[in-house]
Structure 1
Amino acid sequence: MFDKRGSPGNLGARAEETALRYLQRQGLALLERNYRVAAGPGARAGEVDLILRERDGTLVFVEVRARADRSHGGAAASVTPAKQRRLIYAAQHYLLRHATPPPCRFDVLALDGDAIEWLQAAFDAE
């Protein structure tokens, strides 16, 4: 069903839309979509696919990963330590908007074919 390789704009956007609808049904509210920040010369920029708020006020930074199936470890396994660092960098930049940052966490929403797996607190900012 999904494979972010190929034409990234179309398939990636479809995966993110599926993830967003799923998370909204779980009670989360969208704050930002595709939040991007430059990292500087020679460094890769950071991006957060979705930034949502839980009912309790927790900010949730979500990485959406999609694969046609679970071969090669599946979608969740593709969130490498380097990708995590770029997500954390972008989240730190986003949190500068808040005088007192709210509680937050990093989730991964993995789409493997038709299967959806929501990994809450998938990794920590260290």
Structure 2
Amino acid sequence: MANDKPLMLTSPKQRQGSYFEQQACEFLQGQGLILIAQNWQQPKVGELDLVMLEKGQAWSTLVFVEVRQRQQSHFGDAALSVTAAKQRKIIKAARYFLQQNPQYHKYECRFDVIAYNTMNKKNKNEANITLDNQPNQRLEINQPEWLQGAFITSAW
């Protein structure tokens, strides 16, 4: 039930973000989660990178996933870039998602973060991805950090 609108990726940053969102989606599917929506957007509200379903024996959980990527720097890792303000936007978007998709109302909900901390590589032959805006710069992509229940909301 992914968005019906085609996603127009114009900037290198958008294309890079899309790449990491796809990597995160594949990683989570490998962990047994089912994709419900990708890049779900509600105008003037916000966007959800991934909405996944985690099926359990007793109950299933709807998982709202924020995907972050950051080159290692003195600003902290990718997971730390999900600020309180960003969390509020994600929660607000999740509420709208549930309003528009009432079939998921009875599911438990969880907010996860998938964080990619990348490093620049000098050897072109070892790189996994080339930055569009810097063709000679390549990134080494590490295994993602999966923070389950990364944040909660008290007024869900």
Instruction: Check whether TM > 0.5.
Output: yes
TM-score (norm 1): 0.85
Structure 2 counterpart of 1:122: 150
Can you list the C-alpha shifts for 1:72-125, whole angstroms capped at 9, x where unaligned?
A: 111000001110011000100111122643101000000001231000000012
Distance in 2 (CA, whole Å) between partners of 1:70 and 1:117 is: 16
Query: Which is bigger in relative contact order (C-alpha 8 A, separation at least 6)?
Result: 1
| Among 54, 65, 69, the residue aligned to 2:68 | 65
Matched letter for residue 14 of structure 1: Y
Distance in 2 (CA, whole Å) between partners of 1:95 and 1:66 is: 27
1:1-126 to structure 2, matched below 5 A, reads 7-39=12-44, 45-56=45-56, 57-69=60-72, 71-96=74-99, 97-98=101-102, 100-113=105-118, 114-115=141-142, 116-126=144-154
Matched letter for residue 53 of structure 1: L
Can you list the C-alpha shifts for 1:34-61, whole angstroms capped at 9, x where unaligned?
A: 111123xxxxx31110000002221000
70 and 118 in structure 1: CA distance in 2 versus 1, 3 angstrom threshold: farther
Runs of 4+ in 1 over 3 A off after TM superposition: none
Q: Which consecutive residues of structure 1, in runs of 5 or more, have no partner in the other structure? A: 1-5, 40-44
Q: Which consecutive residues of structure 2, in runs of 5 or more, have no partner in the other structure? A: 1-10, 119-140
Mapped contact 1:47–1:87 kept (Cα < 8 A): yes
Distance in 2 (CA, whole Å) between partners of 1:94 and 1:101 is: 13
Mapped contact 1:70–1:112 kept (Cα < 8 A): no
TM-score (norm 2): 0.70
Aligned residues: 116
Matched letter for residue 30 of structure 1: L
Distance in 2 (CA, whole Å) between partners of 1:46 and 1:17 is: 19
Distance in 1 (CA, whole Å) between partners of 2:40 and 2:73 is: 27
Larger Rg: 2
Q: CA deviation at 1:68?
A: 1.9
